[in-house]
Structure 1
Amino acid sequence: MKVLELKNIYKTYKIAGNQEFLALKNINISFDKGELVSIIGESGSGKSTLMNLIGGLDSDFQGELLYNGKNIGAFKESELVDYHKENIGFVFQSFNLISHLNLLDNVAMAMTLSNIDAKTRNKRALQVLTDVGLKDHVYKKPDQISGGQKQRVAIARALVNDPDIIIADEPTGALDSDTTDQVLAIIKGIAERGKLVVMVTHSDKVAAHSSRVVRVDNGEIVEDRDREPIHHIQEKNIEKANSKNKNLSFFSAMRLSLLNMKEKFSRNMLVAFGSSIGIMSVILMLSLGNGVTSYITDTMNSFVNPEVIEVNKPAETKDDTASENLSIQEQQQAQQAQMMNMFGGAEPFTNSDIEKLEEIEHVTSAEKGYSLTALGSNSVSYQDNETMIMQFISTSSNLMDSNLTEGEMPKEGEILVSNMLAEALNEDIIGKSIDVNIVVDEKKITESFQVSGVYESTGNAVYMSYSDIESWFSEEGVELEPNVLYLHADDADNADFIKEQVKNLGYTGSAQETMASMFTEMLDILTYVLAAVAGISLVVSAIMILVVLNISVVERTKEIGVLKALGARKKDIRRIFVSESFLLGVFGGLIGTVLTYLIGIGLNHFTNKLFDVSIIQTMPTYILSGIGISVIISMIASFLPANKAARLDPVESLRRE
């Protein structure tokens, strides 16, 4: 059986004006193993078209092109890929070596596409390079060797998978006469070992080395004559490598992408740096929001005992329909009541409430408290100085000695004032007696108390023991009802659990918690808005990566043609470019993370010096999210260029200069 047989082959091309050009007509020819065939003819005669059909680069033709009895024109894509990988090898006039790979990797490329393990493919590539006399140059790049050496590398690449057919397109066209003789000797040696070698050439001198000459003119075979037969020698047995997965692996694609990126290191690092700006901005905004939120929360929590949970009872509010029937004045009073309740204690606790809260798991006891909040009606005075107070609060276990700036906690008949209130009175008032004026049940009461100490807190506040408040109110004919409860936890670690149970029972937390929650919610919204605005730069990054990859596709068009001739699938080409964008995304994310870290150090040094607080607090989730977003953006941007590269026609790609 003939190794290659062409029956009634016709090939047409579409040209301008929807016209058809008949490039090949009525081609009938067959070839055996061990032949060295020269296909000769003038430019435009159809010899290159014939070569493309035999090589499986172009399967759009009429007729039958049989390889070992199987019609190549009817091959599926996977069968055509296998044909390129296992049965045919190409030697090109312009060598078509991949510039960023060394000679060993260039020769091993066909095996790389077949997912042969590195040890096996490197051993085989080294063997064929040694056979063509390039053992000492295997780690050089193509631009470090001569033209003759490049052609020998191309021959080694064609032989590495031990194919049945070698197609050489003008193999000596770019060589001098001495080198031409050397290359032709190697090619003749290939035919002597039983391979079918088909050379396409203009040169009668080159054709003279062949065992058979086929002349093509105007798309037809006009001459087919035999010359001196090839003297065959026993071919060395070559152990072919097998692979369960015969396609390019993900890791091989990543390696090829890394090698290409290394070749254009400066450009790729600039692209990665450009994309890192957006990632850095997003991470920085999230870290800033987290730092401010933590600062507010920590500041609020620093004023209270972590083992004590403040509980308030929400005010009863009328539904919306009922409120519509209230007068404007009544609605304003209702709104004021709600506002007062936010700051604590509008509704008193009943014994039933207290028992219910004491039954919560991890609560050891409940402490009664009182809180009165007013804007403008309560005040304290000392000699000629008078200032308004916002809160009148009972002392409790919630107050911490560490927050005392001066003096001590109040004993019987004493009060504690906030640091802001002490500054407003503009006196050293510890041990001094001051008048406290408050309005309770629409009744103004006044009493003098000695100041025991100054407590650091927010706002103007006065603190007095619950028992002293009860005695004072009793003297004024006012009944004291607890409107704040302080639950004691058995451990600070259980405080959050108790707070959650308190909320589930319909009660509220402290004013500080309410305010902190409001602030953090607003900060979260602001943080995400700023992060989204910063994220707009990611769109610019995606466009930049899209442009760079498009340029890369144009630059590597001939390389893509070579890879397809060696057996690369569309999926393999796509995977190489997507892998490259994946790496750009990873590098961009890592650079963005490093930049965020460095900027964070600088800003935190500044804020620590001024305010004793680290304002940039980067979470591991921000870093991982930043890198993840960078990778996703890069890979999305790569889809169009990668698909464009995968769809390139190998014949047209190989013609590109």
Structure 2
Amino acid sequence: MAFLELNDIHKSYFLGKEEFPVLNGIDLQLDRGEFVSILGESGGGKSTLMNIIGGLDRKFTGQVKVDGRQLDHTKEKQLDNYRRGTIGYIYQSYNLISHLNIVENVLVSLDMTTLKGSQRKERAIALLKKVGLGDHLKKRPSQLSGGQKQRVAIARALASDPEIIIADEPTGALDSRNTAEVLKLLDQIAAEGKLVITVTHSQEVANYGTRIVHLTDGQIDGDTRLKPAYPVPQEDQSEFRARPLSAGASYKNAFKHLTFTFWRNSLIMLGTAIGLFAVLLFSGLGNGVNAFIENQINSMVNPNSVTVFKNPTGKKMSSTELQQSMQQFANDPSKLLLTDDQIDHLRDLKHVNKVEPGYQLSTYTVSYNKKNSSGSGIQTWTKAFSDNTIKTGHKPGDNEIVINKNQAIALTSAKNYKKLQGKTVQLTMQWINKKNQPIQITGKLKVVGFSDNAQALAAATNYHTMRQLIEKKNGVTKANYVSVNVTNSIYVKQVAKKIQNLKDNNKYTYGAITVGDILDTINQYVQIAAIVLSAIAGISLVVSALMIIVTMYMSVAERTKEIGILRALGERKKDIRRLFTAESILIGLFSAALALLLAYGFSSLLNHILYKIVKFNIVQISAANIISTVIIALVISFIAALLPARRASRLNPIDALSAD
């Protein structure tokens, strides 16, 4: 039984509906140890027959058997395995991959074997030395002569230890000396027990082999034995076998091509990096602004404090709804007053160590030396305020007041405002009496400190002082808010939620606001702004994605022949897709790395400049921002490569090999 059998092979090409027969019933038996020349004129069907034998052409009728097993040309996976493990190709035009050196060209085939990395390289070098190229291992194909290129092709064909070597016009582009050397190598391969099939139109080349099969008009019209086939060596188990290409090898090959075309792709990487940098910077800026606001608020407000108000509606409300409701009832403060029982109820809550009733009045006026300064929001001092709230002086005691720095300047001057400390000022406020009628509260208080931030604290007295001033005018002495101090910050939200859920007569009694609620609201606005800015920056990423798509399509067009070579060597469609998506993903990774460098460099510069103003690092890039940026880069680059990669994998290997 012959090793390779072809039975009744028919093949036609069609132009429209018109049929052009190429092979007309080919029957052929070939065995190992033979050096068979398929001889014939151009157009006689020689290359078509080789494509069928090599598992590249699938559209024909008839049977191909290899070692007694029929090869099913309708099953692509079986053909990939067949080309990978059984066939070795040698081409007239060499078909070497230009961006790889000659060792790497041979390794392309060896990457699809079970050999380890070091073993693959050792075998590649050994094969190149065998064909006389031991002194040229670091050279690329462009640095070799025609004869040397063909020797590289022979070494690559032998790399996976195939049983069939197909040489398509292997000497067509060589001079007589190189022709003789190549034919000698092919003869040696046949003598080692391989089946060598050479396609040629040269009688002189054909005479070198052991057998000539003459092909005319798609039919065998001659089969001449020149000399006996070489004896096939006794079967021995090969030290390795063929296997599908690994993902790691695909990425390694993609990296080689990317480094070869690095400068051409550098503009794409830079454009993508700028978009990623902008997204990263705005995200870091959002983090920094949030952290700055939190730092400022926590420096003036005790984070363990819960501010409690009377719920005027009896309905459960969020902190935002509570603030809106309080504004709604501002003209009727009686709706917001808390009874002593309601205040005492709060003292019984778990994790609470201090409950301080207090007053918050919307407007007030401070007078000194016939000068008046009005403010918005005077209240009693509680543990809700941090000691840092007062920049100069101390917290108020009985008959004492802390006012805002700007008010002190208005009453004196920017240069002498601190001299107001220790002086007595006239305080005027608006409140209500027991009949819910507006009254004016006045009193003389000593200034003992100044605050810097009017929004955090405009003015403050202590509870005892405020109550005495109200009692003197027969005002309502019920508190209109309570400061609840929690033992530990981890319980603040828990306590606030508990307070909000307390009921009296099936109505919710209290509303609660924490520092976290304030920060959440502010952070939400900051995050929205950061997202909007990032989205604007993200437009450049869309442009970058389009650039990657165009680049990948250009790469497919430029590497069409390479795709054909890889498919002929046994790479699957999956491997071709992965080759291009891997290169695009690597572009994304390089872009992300460049974006990180730009972001850290620019944020360091920005923080250095702004720190002199705000004493805070205003750009804070987190690990989550970095991970998100890398993921964005990978997703964009992967999606951008999908269509070009799909197009590359669907190329017909025969058409790809014939591309210029």
TM-score after normalising by structure 1: 0.90
Are 2:325 and 1:310 equivalent residues in the alignment? no
C-alpha displacement at 1:222, in angstroms? 2.4
Cα pair 1:300 1:513 within 8 Å, conserved: no
Q: Superposition pairs for residues 412-561 of structure 1, below 5 Å?
A: 412-426=398-412, 428-441=419-432, 442-459=438-455, 461-492=458-489, 494-495=491-492, 497-499=494-496, 501-502=498-499, 507-509=510-512, 516-561=519-564
Structure 2 residue runs of 5 or longer lacking an equivalent are 317-322, 414-418, 433-437, 503-507
The count of residues paired between Structure 1 and Structure 2 equals: 636
Aligned to 2:267: 270
Q: Superposition pairs for residues 83-98 of structure 1, below 5 Å?
A: 83-98=82-97
C-alpha displacement at 1:186, in angstroms? 0.6
Among the aligned pairs, what percent are the same residue? Answer: 38
The one-character-per-residue Cα deviations of 1:304-357 (angstroms, maximum 9, x if unpaired) are 2344443333433799xxxxxxxxxxxxxx978525769x99723334443443
SS in 2 for 1:537: helix
Closer/same/farther in 2, CA of residues 39 and 397 from structure 1, 3 Å limit: same
CA RMSD of aligned residues (A): 2.6
C-alpha displacement at 1:500, in angstroms? 5.1
C-alpha displacement at 1:160, in angstroms? 1.9
Aligned to 2:372: 386
1:253 pairs, out of 227, 250, 254, with: 250
Are 2:7 and 1:7 equivalent residues in the alignment? yes
Aligned to 2:435: none
Cα pair 1:593 1:623 within 8 Å, conserved: yes
Give distance in 2, aligned partners of 1:539 and 1:160.
43
Cα pair 1:120 1:241 within 8 Å, conserved: no
Which range moved further: 177-186 or 597-606? 597-606
Give distance in 1, aligned partners of 2:461 and 2:613.
35
Aligned to 2:31: 32
C-alpha displacement at 1:636, in angstroms? 0.7
The one-character-per-residue Cα deviations of 1:11-30 (angstroms, maximum 9, x if unpaired) are 01122x33221111122222
The one-character-per-residue Cα deviations of 1:17-66 (angstroms, maximum 9, x if unpaired) are 33221111122222122111111222212111111111111021011222
Cα pair 1:315 1:341 within 8 Å, conserved: no
Cα pair 2:114 2:241 within 8 Å, conserved: no
Give distance in 2, aligned partners of 1:137 and 1:558.
24
Which range moved further: 93-102 or 139-148? 139-148
Q: Which amino acid in the other structure matches residue 578 of structure 1?
A: T
SS in 1 for 2:100: coil
The one-character-per-residue Cα deviations of 1:458-502 (angstroms, maximum 9, x if unpaired) are 257331111111122112112311222222333455545544554
Give distance in 1, aligned partners of 2:474 and 2:344.
27
Aligned to 1:610: 613
Q: Which amino acid in the other structure matches residue 647 of structure 1?
A: R
Closer/same/farther in 2, CA of residues 580 and 58 from structure 1, 3 Å limit: same
Give distance in 2, aligned partners of 1:234 and 1:78.
30
C-alpha displacement at 1:234, in angstroms? 4.6
SS in 2 for 1:488: strand
SS in 2 for 1:390: strand
Are 2:351 and 1:362 equivalent residues in the alignment? yes
Aligned to 1:639: 642
Closer/same/farther in 2, CA of residues 512 and 107 from structure 1, 3 Å limit: closer
Cα pair 1:470 1:479 within 8 Å, conserved: no
Closer/same/farther in 2, CA of residues 649 and 335 from structure 1, 3 Å limit: closer
Q: Which amino acid in the other structure matches residue 655 of structure 1?
A: S
Cα pair 1:7 1:29 within 8 Å, conserved: yes
Cα pair 1:60 1:73 within 8 Å, conserved: no
The one-character-per-residue Cα deviations of 1:265-302 (angstroms, maximum 9, x if unpaired) are 11233222221122112111212222222222222222
Give distance in 2, aligned partners of 1:236 and 1:103.
30
Which range moved further: 80-89 or 120-129? 120-129
Give distance in 2, aligned partners of 1:335 and 1:29.
93
Aligned to 1:324: none
SS in 2 for 1:140: coil
Aligned to 1:162: 161
Closer/same/farther in 2, CA of residues 150 and 210 from structure 1, 3 Å limit: same
Give distance in 2, aligned partners of 1:115 and 1:426.
89
Give distance in 2, aligned partners of 1:413 and 1:48.
108
The one-character-per-residue Cα deviations of 1:616-655 (angstroms, maximum 9, x if unpaired) are 1211111100110110111011111111111111111111
TM-score after normalising by structure 2: 0.90
Closer/same/farther in 2, CA of residues 340 and 454 from structure 1, 3 Å limit: farther
Cα pair 1:434 1:451 within 8 Å, conserved: yes
Are 2:389 and 1:403 equivalent residues in the alignment? yes
Aligned to 1:80: 79
Give distance in 2, aligned partners of 1:424 and 1:315.
37
Which range moved further: 208-217 or 253-262? 208-217
Give distance in 2, aligned partners of 1:256 and 1:511.
57
Give distance in 2, aligned partners of 1:236 and 1:175.
35
Give distance in 2, aligned partners of 1:121 and 1:504.
72
Give distance in 2, aligned partners of 1:239 and 1:491.
72
